[in-house]
Homo-oligomer: A and B are copies of this chain.
Amino acid sequence: MKEFDLIKQYFAQRGHVRKDVILGIGDDCAITKVPDNQHLAVTTDTLISGVHFLADAPARSVAYKAVAVNLSDLAACGAEPAWISLSLSLPSYDEAWIDEFVNGLYELTEYYSVQLIGGDTVTGPLALTITAQGFVPPDTELRRSNAKPGDWIYVTGNLGDAGAGLDILKGNIEASAEHRDYLINRHYYPTPRVLAGTSLRRTANTGIDVSDGLVADLSHILRASGCGATVHVDRLPVSSALFDTVGAQQAYRYALSAGDDYELVFTVNEEQRGNLETSLANANVKATCIGQVNGYTGQLDLRLYDAKYELDKDAGYEHQF
Contact = CB atoms under 8 A, between A and B. Distances in A.
Interface string A119-161: 1101111010101011010100101110000000000000000
Contacts of A44: 85-87, 118-120, 129, 131
Q: What are the nearest 3 A-B pairs in CB distance?
A: A129-B129, A28-B76, A48-B124
A121 to B, nearest CB: 9
Contacts of A138: 22, 33
Among the interface residues A33, A89, A117, which one has the most CB atoms of the partner chain B within 10 A? A89
Contacts of A274: none
A42 B118 contact: yes
A85 B127 contact: no
Given A29-B73, A44-B87, A124 B123 contact: no
Contacts of A39: 22, 31-33
A83 B138 CA distance: 19
A124 B30 contact: no
A194 interface: no
A239 to B, nearest CB: 24
12 contacts: A23-B141, A30-B42, A30-B43, A31-B40, A32-B42, A40-B40, A42-B133, A43-B85, A89-B127, A123-B320, A125-B125, A129-B129
A124 B122 contact: no
Interface string A290-321: 00000000000000000000000000000110
A68 interface: no
Contacts of A89: 46, 48, 127
Contact of A31 (B33, B77, B208): B77
Given A27-B145, A31-B42, 18 more contacts: A4-B220, A26-B224, A28-B144, A28-B208, A28-B209, A29-B76, A30-B41, A34-B40, A43-B85, A43-B118, A44-B85, A44-B86, A44-B120, A48-B125, A87-B129, A120-B129, A125-B127, A127-B127
Nearest to A41: B29
B51 A319 contact: no
Interface string A1-39: 001100000000000000000110011111111101001
Interface of A: 3-4, 22-23, 26-34, 36, 39-46, 48, 51-52, 73-74, 76-77, 79, 83, 85-87, 89, 117-120, 122-125, 127, 129, 131, 133-134, 136, 138, 141, 143-145, 207-209, 220, 224, 319-320
Contacts of A30: 41-43
B46 A87 contact: yes
A33 to B, nearest CB: 5
Contacts of A73: 28-29
Among the interface residues A3, A44, A123, A208, which one has the most CB atoms of the partner chain B within 10 A? A44
A143 B23 contact: yes
Contacts of A32: 39-40, 42
A117 B207 CA distance: 19
A21 to B, nearest CB: 10
